[in-house]
């Protein structure tokens, strides 16, 4: 078993900035998605920030990024910085999600104003 969500993601998808570690574990995407689904927000954010430190980089599939941000926002819905970060990721990987990104931006504005 991997010690962190980041380590599991790095083994499965690779890392643009560090070598992929060699390990003898079976890497199946559904095992990673199960771990991601039940991970806490700090673990998910650590993975996103380490493997995709800039919005346009990283080897995580876009659908994994989208899911990860969705799970973070479900756990921390009232943090405008995170809402904006999720919106930025959607903007970078749209245009299919541009309307959702715009809604998130408006939500972040409302949180900051309220």
**Residues in contact with 107: Cβ distance below 8 Å, sequence separation at least 6, in sequence order:** 80, 83
For the cut 90, the answer to whether the pLDDT of residue 49 exceeds it is: yes
How far apart are the C-alpha atoms of 52 and 50, rounded to whole Å? Answer: 6
What pLDDT was estimated at residue 48? 97
Q: Where are the beta strands (DSSP E) in the chain?
A: none
What pLDDT was estimated at residue 11? 92
Mean pLDDT value of segment 25-53: 95
Mean pLDDT value of segment 26-53: 95
Mean pLDDT value of segment 92-97: 86
How far apart are the C-alpha atoms of 107 and 87, rounded to whole Å? Answer: 10
What pLDDT was estimated at residue 1? 74
> Global pTM?
0.93
**Residues in contact with 78: Cβ distance below 8 Å, sequence separation at least 6, in sequence order:** 111
18: helix, strand or coil:
coil
Its sign, for the CA torsion 48, 49, 50, 51, is: positive
What pLDDT was estimated at residue 23? 83
């Amino acid at each position: 078993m991997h010690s962190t969500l980041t380590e599991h993601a790095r083994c499965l998808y690779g890392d643009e900035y560090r070598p992929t570690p060699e390990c003898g574990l079976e890497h199946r995407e559904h095992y990673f998605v199960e771990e991601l689904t039940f991970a806490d927000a700090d673990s998910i954010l650590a993975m996103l920030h380490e493997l995709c430190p800039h919005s346009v980089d990283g080897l995580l599939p876009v659908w994994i990024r989208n899911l990860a941000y969705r799970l973070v926002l479900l756990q921390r819905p009232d943090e405008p910085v995170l809402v904006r970060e999720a919106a930025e990721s959607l903007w970078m990987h749209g245009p299919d999600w541009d309307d959702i990104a715009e809604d998130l931006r408006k939500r972040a504005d409302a949180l900051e104003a309220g």
